[in-house]
Amino acid sequence: MNGIEGGVAIVTGGAAGIGRAAAERFAAEGARVVVADIDADDLAETVDLIEADGGEATAVETDVSDADDVASLVEETVDTYGVPDFALNNAGIEGSSAPLADQSLEDWKRVIDVNQTGVWNCLTEELAVMADNGGGAIVNTSSIAGLSAAGGGPYVASKHGVIGLTRAAAAQYGPAGVRVNAVCPGVIDTEMIDRASDEMGEETIDQIVQAKPLRRMGEPEEVASAVVWLCSDESSFVTGHPLVIDGGYMA
């Protein structure tokens, strides 16, 4: 027993990639999962996949950049399954990799709205109910771009911001029993990387992958297992930590 079974988890960006893999993993370990995303069709598919494996999940269409949407997400979670014990704030977009001076204010705002304000919206709602309920564990998806310049300017800034929010939340809510950590994936084989490869060229992605000591992309499931570990009792003394999952790239 690692404390996941019987719990309630919220996963944003749960319609694809890392979010879907994490939702499936939470469900496989016995949590009831609320998956949230802007993509209603793929979100329904995540629920189908979880149910086909005997798990329990509910979809709530949510735009994480919209504070009202996120408030409804947490409210619906409480109404459906009870106060969340775990959350993965993971929805994100890559933005453009063009040089800073070639990007517009709109480019900047969109990435910050989803990646950083989205995590802010989720944290404020989740922390309030978890603290009232005696505790919980939250993981925010940052990136190696949260620790280095591994991406476009708005993306890098947003992911550094996610680590800052993670640390602030961990410091403030530890006494209330809420642990808050971040995961910092390297190149993980998802649709986001397919899109980045279209924009930057397959060769660039290949060079990044070949610069990793493990010489391969990661799989979404490899991030999912770290997320579930960070929410489990196995990591009971870990909080405020940005966990790098990158095949050794940052080394």
State the catalytic residues: 155
> Of 39 and 76, which CB lies nearer to ligand NAI in the complex structure?
39
Q: Does 92 bind ligand NAI (CB under 6 A)?
A: yes
Q: To the nearest whole angstrom, how small is the minimum distance from the Cβ of residue 75 to ligand NAI?
A: 17
> Of 6 and 193, which CB lies nearer to ligand NAI in the complex structure?
193
Q: To the nearest whole angstrom, how small is the minimum distance from the Cβ of residue 55 to ligand NAI?
A: 19
Residue 169, CB half-sphere, CA atoms under 13 Å: how many?
32
Binding span for ligand NAI by CB under 6 A among 3-11, 87-95, 126-134, 198-206 = 87-95
Q: Does 39 bind ligand NAI (CB under 6 A)?
A: yes
Q: Which two tokens stand for residue 161?
A: 């911001």
Say what the alpha-carbon torsion angle 210, 213, 217, 221 is, to the nearest 10 degrees.
Answer: 180
Q: Which of residues 164-223 bind ligand NAI (CB under 6 A)?
A: 185, 187-188, 190-193
Q: Does 10 bind ligand NAI (CB under 6 A)?
A: no
CA distances in angstroms from 98 to 90, 151, 162, listed in the order given: 23, 9, 21
Given 77, 90, 166, 181, the residue binding ligand NAI (CB under 6 A): 90
Given 19, 55, 153, 161, the residue binding ligand NAI (CB under 6 A): 19
One character per residue 140-169, x = contact with ligand NAI (rule: CB under 6 A): -x-x--------------------------
Q: To the nearest whole angstrom, how small is the minimum distance from the Cβ of residue 215 to ligand NAI?
A: 16
Residue numbers at the binding site for ligand NAI (CB under 6 A):
12-13, 15-19, 37-39, 62-65, 90-93, 114, 118, 141, 143, 185, 187-188, 190-193
